[in-house]
Amino acid sequence: MLFKRRSPASFWQRLRGAVWPRKGFWRVPVYIYHRTVRLRATPHAIAMGIAAGVFVSWTPFIGLHFVSAFAIAFVLGGNLFASALGTAFGNPLTFPFIWLSTWKLGSFLLGRSAEGREHIDLVDLVKKFELSDLWKPLLEPMIVGSIVPALVCGGLFYIATYYAVQSFQTRRQAMIAARQAELQNGAMNGSKN
């Protein structure tokens, strides 16, 4: 195998790697940042794609995040690949926070208080998978509660991505122009000799 370890990892090394990756948890966000700023599109298109992916990550429809992000990015003129990268905002570490906060905010906005609420047997509701049974106690509050944080996070990510991509592309163009000037000067000096 091409990238196989020289000595096989022990059980404890594999367990440690599963709990705490060897290169740390920052490797993925740094990779996504570098992948995003290097996309070939306008800063607006890339930022709109990222914002669409982040926006969709706040919704409770997990299986539809990519499709929804593509649709929103397409309608708003965003980059489709950037929208897929933006959905990485919703991940196993952030989903519990997202779901709980959207459900609580949605319940508050819909005027449903904790008192007087009957017990929700989520396992039984999912087993039956009756959408009408899931709608009122779970999906409706999560959808209503996701609108505000999705708009805020999408806007913040749009602004941050736009300026990061614009800065990277400006630096890249300056570097290419300097290289071309250096090559032209070298060619002129070579022809004079």
- What mean pLDDT comes out for the span 4-12? 84
Residue 165 has pLDDT above 60, yes or no: yes
pTM (predicted TM-score): 0.77
Q: How far apart are CA 151 and CA 50, in angstroms?
A: 12
Query: Exposed, middle or buried by CB within 10 Å (0-12, 13-18, 19+), for 124?
Result: exposed
Q: How far apart are CA 20 and CA 18, in angstroms?
A: 6
The pLDDT, as a whole number, for residue 82 is: 92
The pLDDT, as a whole number, for residue 187 is: 73
Copy the structure tokens of residue 64.
């539809």
The pLDDT, as a whole number, for residue 23 is: 77
Segment 35-66, tens digit of pLDDT: 888 888 999 999 999 999 999 999 988 889 99
Per-residue pLDDT band for 19 (boundaries 50, 70, 90) equals: confident
Residue 10 has pLDDT above 70, yes or no: yes
Residue 114 has pLDDT above 60, yes or no: no
Copy the structure tokens of residue 188.
């002129």
The pLDDT, as a whole number, for residue 70 is: 95
The pLDDT, as a whole number, for residue 122 is: 67
Q: How far apart are CA 171 and CA 43, in angstroms?
A: 13
Categorise residue 7: left if φ over 0, alpha if ψ from -120 to 50, beta otherwise: beta
Task: Give the angle 129-130-132 at the CA atoms, nearest 5°.
Answer: 145
Residue 78 has pLDDT above 90, yes or no: yes
Q: Where are the strands (E) in 52-191, listed by range?
A: none
Q: For residue 103, which of 134, 72, 125, 130 has the smallest C-alpha distance?
A: 134
* Cα 47 from chain centre: 11
